[in-house]
Amino acid sequence: MIDFHCHLDLYPDPVREVRDAEAAGIYVLSVTTTPRAWVRTAQLAKGHKRIRTALGLHPQLAHERHNELGLFEELLPRSRYVGEIGLDGGPGYREHSALQRKVFDTVLRLSDKGGGRIMSIHSRHAVDEILERLAAVPGAGLPILHWFSGSATQLRRATDIGCWFSVGPAMLRGAKGRSLAKAMPRDRILTETDGPFGKGPNGPLHPVDAWVAVKQLATIWGISPGEAEKQLLDNLRSLSASGPDHIRARSPISQRTIA
């Protein structure tokens, strides 16, 4: 099972989350919201071979933490994964759009310079801007749009420039989320929980709840949960094969400009 976007460090007991994920054999991408949080969050994953820690600077914190970009640059050589990064054009955040763009553009430029990264991206109310920027810096790496909530047209554009997607139980609960997931290329989807922000009927989701998303995808695809799980693990394998050293050479993002 896979939880490719989870905030392990933000649970009340991160050590317990790591232990539970390990016991259940789950592959976890542990995303961070600030460069400063990365060091101790990466420490949590030490010795756990299925957990990777992504270096992030969350768009909702960009206006408070943009001064950590220097630290981001310093730490970047130590992580193959970048996230959570992105833009948020929603209420309460769009007034900080200039600083968000500065942070996101800097992260893309540094990732490009560093040979490319696998990136977990937040695109709420900002899909067009995100895609425009990704297409402009194809060497930044492989973008995974997490909890995509744009339109069907935006989804097509994202797919055209080579984006992947991570989807979770909270997104797939609604009809819109399910119809978007149905339109995503089946070989470019991973499951996520976005816990503890992602919630289920019993409160914050945990990595094991990625199983709910596997079952939801199985229904959407019209196959068994076992077959869906196999597809998702194949996807993870193909993603892992595109290491940073290879990303530039075989960038999944085409140079095609977005109309």
What is the C-alpha separation between 9 and 185, in angstroms, rounded? Answer: 31
Q: Which is nearer to Mn ion, 88 or 194 (CB)?
A: 194
What minimum distance in Å lies between the beta carbon of 21 and Mn ion? 16
What minimum distance in Å lies between the beta carbon of 86 and Mn ion? 9
Helix (H) or strand (E) holding 190: strand 189-191
Q: Which residue has the tokens 């500065």?
A: 102
What is the C-alpha separation between 185 and 252, in angstroms, rounded? Answer: 14
What minimum distance in Å lies between the beta carbon of 31 and Mn ion? 6
What minimum distance in Å lies between the beta carbon of 149 and Mn ion? 13
Q: Is the peptide bond before 196 cis (omega within 30 degrees of 0)?
A: yes
What minimum distance in Å lies between the beta carbon of 116 and Mn ion? 22
> Alpha-carbon torsion 6, 118, 241, 136, what sign?
positive
What minimum distance in Å lies between the beta carbon of 5 and Mn ion? 6
Give residues in contact with Mn ion (CB under 5 A): 84, 194
CB 3 within 8 A of CB 26: yes
Three-state DSSP state, 213: helix
- Report the residue number whose CB is nearest to Mn ion: 194
What minimum distance in Å lies between the beta carbon of 7 and Mn ion? 6
Q: What backbone torsions phi and psi does residue 190 show, to the nearest 5 degrees?
A: -130, 160
What is the C-alpha separation between 142 and 239, in angstroms, rounded? Answer: 9
Q: Which is nearer to Mn ion, 56 or 244 (CB)?
A: 56
Helix (H) or strand (E) holding 111: helix 97-113
What is the C-alpha separation between 206 and 226, in angstroms, rounded? Answer: 20
Q: Which is nearer to Mn ion, 85 or 189 (CB)?
A: 85
Phi-psi region of 83 (alpha: psi -120 to 50; beta: other; left: phi over 0): left
Sequence-separated (6 or more) residues with CB below 8 Å from residue 170 = 147, 194, 198, 199, 200, 205
